[in-house]
């Protein structure tokens, strides 16, 4: 595994040197984990001219820990707890003769940036931009395999829930039960707060579960995901409670299903992000559901649940192979409820069979 | 309730004007909630010369929501989702004729700060410092009442766990069960990730639960808390599994208990933060447990689980009445385990009966 991290760091080092900074300070936790194999709380990665250093704010044993640091990395732990590893790393960089340091300006606060500058005023501070996030977009097969296992876990947890009695139970209890099942099946934990939305709440994006109970005739929409070895996936489904869905429910479901299928089928290397959004969105638009539509129809997933690319109307860029994304259109009718359908897929070329669906729970409208 | 928020904003406005900024931009979510009654995702509060505005990144209905915004506030929602409310708020401030804007430099990233500046270059950007955090230190009785209810919920959840069979169950399952019980008893959710640590893990601060199972003879240390109406409390206890604790376990428990009692008994208005730390720490030091001691012996709680004051060796400042804090010394012996005991208390004057203990689960060494 160690080579994977060394290769990633070497790619980043090339980018930094091309833009004039030989030394970089990585502080965003998901970026630290991507390059170092682990992101102990408060740790930063100092990417030096030749040598890389994981600077930890506390002895690793004392705090929650995810993953294991690449054994090829030097590890430096601050002598006293409570210090800022970014500030300490800047001091180390200066003492090793660096003259400039690229930092993650989209992650460091103004105060931390100032403290870094004051500790090492001889360092010219540059911006690293989202260089690491860009490296993270295309996944290797090891990463995809973690996402695939996470998706299997989420499918299992959801499948078990569907076999239980739902009427009368609250959104909060159903969400907690799903999260317990994720862990039962081997997840590190939920990938994000599980959303369970009933009746008038159904179809809302990222609905926060309430004490409302499932009732006959409700739409029930559920969105959950597992984290597996740090990788986060997402699945969303909408069901109807009771034996006979109303006509408006069937109509709305069919519409969102068609939009989601159009989005899925548009996924291919070389397709513009905005065209995936448009493929799904125009189906909803055509049914005059253009109000209250979500701002995006999907997004990348990986070490974070919402990462690049954004599949949104104004997004710039094109899909590559091996980019995992969600496709998740939805419609919410205020006061009535709605439908969301959400899958995680990996973009693959046509020759490899097209998009790989990771979340395989049925998308038929189940009446539970 | 509306008056409470208006009074808080008025106190902050006085502070800002005293330091030369008539307008302030509050972006840190807990600070927004403190001053506005709610912090919708991505929202910021613009404190104007006379009028205050909650600027929301998205229509409040679309996203998880905590609390209700003060009805006296004007609410402005960005016309398109995906924008930065801080940037929009700066534009509004400039258009209303403000000439300077105090921002939370410890929360805004360098990139957001730059975007704020570029949107409204005529505004002089100043630092608000931690003015809101300082206002939050002393709680009113309404806030303390939320913490008290949260503590009762945590005590109940812990009490029920102790009545169940523990041997053979994993740390992760016990943590999930505690979190479910918190919600059962009316919590918004856990105040922080529940820590359950067995055997060699016991006594670690913020231990992340693993798949290790509870065994006979283990120490079991548990740290949990409930969030109630946004307010977060904390309780930690250590138990021994089986009928006869070993001598070293009894000795270590008595030591940490004595340290925790010394910390609790030192709490009074006017006492220096560092003296509370010292009161607990010197008991552990005297037993030569000076290595691997935590960096602090307690901290404030409220809308965040770890807020000012820090009860640490280098902390500056003195306790006031109505400041809720934890007292949580612990000792962890690598390879063997350890003990942590953690309460949430409110500082009260001697005349009112001294410190008010919110978390009342027994601190006797229970053999389970």
List of chain B residues whose C-beta atoms are within 8 Å of the C-beta of residue A64: 193, 206-208
Q: What is the reported pLDDT for B290?
A: 60
Closest CA to B219 of B234, B239, B235, B233: B239
* Domains of chain A: residue spans and CATH: 2-136 (3.40.350.10), 138-357 (3.90.230.10)
Q: What is the reported pLDDT for A62?
A: 43
> Average of pLDDT values for B9-27?
91
Position B196 pLDDT exceeds 70 = yes
Residue A202 and residue A161 in contact, taking contact as beta carbons nearer than 8 Å = no
Which pairing describes strands A74-77 and A52-56: parallel, antiparallel, or unpaired? parallel
Q: Any chain B CB within 8 A of the CB of A247?
A: no
> Average of pLDDT values for A192-210?
92
Q: What is the reported pLDDT for B18?
A: 84
List of chain B residues whose C-beta atoms are within 8 Å of the C-beta of residue A102: none
Position B357 pLDDT exceeds 50 = yes
A161-166, long-range: CB < 8 A, 24+ apart: A161/A222, A162/A239, A162/A366, A162/A368, A166/A214, A166/A220, A166/A241, A166/A368
Q: What percent of chain A has pLDDT over 90?
A: 79
Position B61 pLDDT exceeds 70 = no
> Average of pLDDT values for A37-62?
85
Q: Any chain A CB within 8 A of the CB of B68?
A: no
Q: What is the reported pLDDT for B62?
A: 44
- Tens-digit pLDDT profile for residues B146-188: 999 999 999 999 999 999 989 999 999 999 999 999 998 999 8
- Tens-digit pLDDT profile for residues B243-285: 889 999 999 999 999 999 999 999 999 999 999 999 999 999 8
Q: What is the reported pLDDT for B41?
A: 86
Position B82 pLDDT exceeds 80 = no
> Average of pLDDT values for A157-164?
94
Q: Any chain B CB within 8 A of the CB of A118?
A: no
Binding-face residues of A in 119-178 toward B, CB within 8 A: 127, 172-173, 176
How far is Cα B309 from Cα B35, in angstroms, rounded to an integer? 19
**Of the candidate ranges A154-158, A287-291, A305-309, B86-90, the one whose mean pLDDT is the lowest:** A287-291
**Of the candidate ranges A49-58, A328-337, B102-111, B304-313, the one whose mean pLDDT is the lowest:** A49-58
Binding-face residues of A in 171-230 toward B, CB within 8 A: 172-173, 176, 179-180, 183, 193, 204-208
Q: What percent of chain A has pLDDT over 70?
A: 96
- Tens-digit pLDDT profile for residues B24-35: 999 999 999 999
Q: Any chain B CB within 8 A of the CB of A68?
A: no
**Of the candidate ranges A304-308, B7-11, B18-22, the one whose mean pLDDT is the lowest:** B18-22
- Closest A-chain CA to B331: A62
Residue A147 and residue A352 in contact, taking contact as beta carbons nearer than 8 Å = no
Q: Which two tokens stand for residue B23?
A: 């307008």
Q: What is the reported pLDDT for A292?
A: 67
> Average of pLDDT values for A104-111?
97
**From the CA of A108, how many Å to the nearest CA of chain B?**
5
Q: What is the reported pLDDT for B289?
A: 67
> Average of pLDDT values for B11-29?
91
């Amino acid at each position: 595994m160690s080579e994977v991290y060394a290769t990633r760091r070497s790619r980043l080092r090339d980018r930094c040197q091309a833009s004039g900074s030989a030394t970089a300070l990585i502080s965003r936790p998901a970026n630290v984990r991507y390059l170092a194999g682990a992101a102990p709380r408060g740790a930063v990665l100092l990417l030096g001219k030749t040598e890389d250093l994981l600077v930890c704010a506390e002895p690793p044993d004392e705090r929650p820990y995810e993953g294991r640091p690449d054994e090829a990395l030097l590890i430096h732990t601050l002598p006293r707890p409570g210090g800022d590893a970014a500030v300490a790393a800047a001091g180390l960089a200066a003492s090793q003769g660096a003259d400039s340091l690229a930092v993650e300006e989209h992650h460091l606060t103004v105060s931390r940036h100032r403290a870094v500058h004051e500790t090492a005023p001889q360092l010219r501070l540059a911006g690293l931009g989202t260089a690491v996030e860009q490296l993270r977009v295309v996944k290797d097969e090891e990463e995809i395999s973690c996402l695939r296992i996470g998706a299997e876990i989420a499918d299992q947890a959801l499948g078990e829930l569907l076999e239980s009695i739902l009427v009368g139970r609250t959104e909060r209890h159903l969400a907690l039960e799903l999260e317990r099942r994720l862990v039962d099946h081997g997840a590190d934990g939920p990938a994000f707060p599980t959303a369970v939305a009933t009746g008038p709440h159904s179809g809302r994006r990222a609905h926060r579960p309430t004490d409302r109970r499932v009732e006959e005739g409700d739409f029930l929409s559920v969105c959950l995901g597992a984290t597996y070895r740090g990788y986060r996936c997402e699945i969303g489904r909408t069901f109807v409670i009771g034996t006979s869905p109303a006509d408006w429910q069937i109509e709305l479901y069919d519409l969102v299903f068609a939009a989601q299928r159009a989005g899925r089928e548009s996924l291919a290397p070389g397709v513009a992000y905005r065209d995936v959004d448009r493929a799904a969105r125009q189906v909803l638009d055509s049914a005059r559901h253009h109000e209250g539509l979500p701002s995006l129809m999907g997004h990348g997933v990986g070490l974070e649940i919402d990462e690049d690319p954004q599949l949104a109307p104004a997004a710039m860029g094109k899909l590559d192979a091996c980019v995992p994304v969600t496709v998740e259109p939805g419609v919410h009718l205020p006061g009535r409820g709605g439908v969301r359908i959400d899958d995680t897929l990996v973009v693959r070329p046509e020759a490899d069979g097209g998009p790989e669906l990771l979340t395989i729970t049925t998308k038929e409208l189940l009446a539970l």
